[in-house]
Amino acid sequence: MANKIVFIIKPFILFFTLLALSGQCFAEDKWKIRLRGIGIIPDDSSTNILLGNTTTQTAGVEIDSAFVPELDITYMITPHIGIEAIAGIANHDVNVDGTPTGALAAVGGADGLKLFDTWVLPPTITLQYHFLPNNNLRPYIGVGANYTATLADNASDELEAAVGGPVKVSSDNSWGWAVQAGFDYDISDNWFFNADVKYIDIDTVANIGVNGGPNAGAVFNVDLDVDPWVVGAGIGFQF
């Protein structure tokens, strides 16, 4: 997990170090730092859960929402154009959605059963256009790229009890696109209020392997389109 975090953070450190060095000749208020509270609301869908990619089950999975803090940094290239880097970490539960049949039902799967929870780190960079940079109220839109890293997948106690043995879960990392819209509203010369909404394209494959007990060797797979709406509000500081 530590190696994943270093791999993700290094480009951000290099990117903003270069901007800081080049920004010495620029005017003030090139930087905006925001701390938001966000709701991550998956617009999720999935394939049916498969046993070894061969036997179709009637159930898929669903992902719960999460509410976490988020930090972002924006550098204004011009009064209208900015680059924003967004980082946060969240934990989501992944549950059975539907009534299983076949192998999944045979090992104790049931509608609503929590399969696992996962910690995800989804750093996102967007290129923004700010419509009214000199106004107190400054709306903007943005488009960019997202990389979502799964830092830890943990099988639930309920799942391990149902299958009668230990379970190992692994989810793929994901590259995708992101769009956003929001606004800043000045509170004072340096402080402002921010509200923002994003839609992020996140796709992954989860592999659920039973490592012991009467069902040892069974491997279930499911393709997930997470595609969350990220809605947030918070406070910002510009300098």
CB-CB neighbours of 35 under 10 Å: 14
| Residue 22 confidence (pLDDT) | 45
pLDDT at 53: 60
**Euclidean distance between CA atoms 220 and 57, whole angstroms:** 10
Q: List all residues 6 or more positions away from 123 whose beta carbon is below 8 Å from its beta carbon.
A: 8, 12, 85, 86, 87, 146, 147
What pLDDT score was predicted for residue 89? 95
Question: pLDDT, tens digit, for every residue of 159-205?
Answer: 999 888 999 999 999 999 999 999 999 999 999 999 999 999 999 99
Q: Note whether 113 and 80 are within 8 A (CB).
A: no
What CATH number is given to the structural domain containing 123? 2.40.160.20
- For 15, the domain range is 2-238
pLDDT for residue 33: 97
> What pLDDT score does 50 carry?
84
- List, for residues 129-153, the tens digit of each pLDDT value: 999 999 999 999 999 999 999 999 9
What's the domain count of the chain? 1
Handedness of CA 106, 110, 116, 121 (dihedral sign): positive
The CA-atom distances, in angstroms, between 135 and each of 21, 80, 129, 236 are 28, 12, 14, 16
Return the exposure string of 172-205: e unless at least 16 CB atoms fall within 10 Å of the residue's CB, then b: ebbebebebebbbeeeeeeebebebebebbbebe
Top-confidence residue, 90 or 106: 90
pLDDT computed for residue 129 by the predictor: 98
DSSP 191: E
Q: What is the pLDDT of residue 110?
A: 85
Tokens of 214: 């009467």
DSSP letter (8 states) at residue 24: G
Average pLDDT, the chain: 87
